[in-house]
Amino acid sequence: MVNPASLMKIMNAKNTFTQNHPKFAAFLGAVFAKPIEEGTVIEVTVTRPGEAAVTSNLRVQESDLELFAELKGLAK
């Protein structure tokens, strides 16, 4: 069972994040508007001030979809 105080803290942090980064929140909404399917490529780039960008990607596998479904269930 999830602690209600922890859940409230997470929801407040999510709301603050969405207010601070509305375009990113909209991007995530568009990406997850339809299910991620096997073979989808997810790529992430991190660029720190004064450093070169670091990029990695993954091609979604069936076992990844199972993890995504479990995480989605936790979010409800």
pLDDT tens digits for range 35-71: 899 999 999 999 999 999 999 999 999 999 999 888 8
If asked whether residues 56 and 44 sit together in one domain, one would say: yes
- pLDDT at site 68: 86
CA gap 18, 70 in Å, rounded: 23
* Residue % of the chain over a pLDDT of 90: 75
User: Model pTM?
Assistant: 0.70
Average of per-residue pLDDT across 27-33: 91
Q: Are 26 and 8 in contact (CB under 8 A)?
A: no
CA gap 76, 74 in Å, rounded: 5
Element (H, E) at 30: helix 22-31
* Alpha-carbon torsion angle 16, 71, 73, 2, nearest 10: -60
Q: What's the domain range around 3?
A: 1-34
If asked whether residues 56 and 67 sit together in one domain, one would say: yes
If asked whether residues 45 and 74 sit together in one domain, one would say: yes
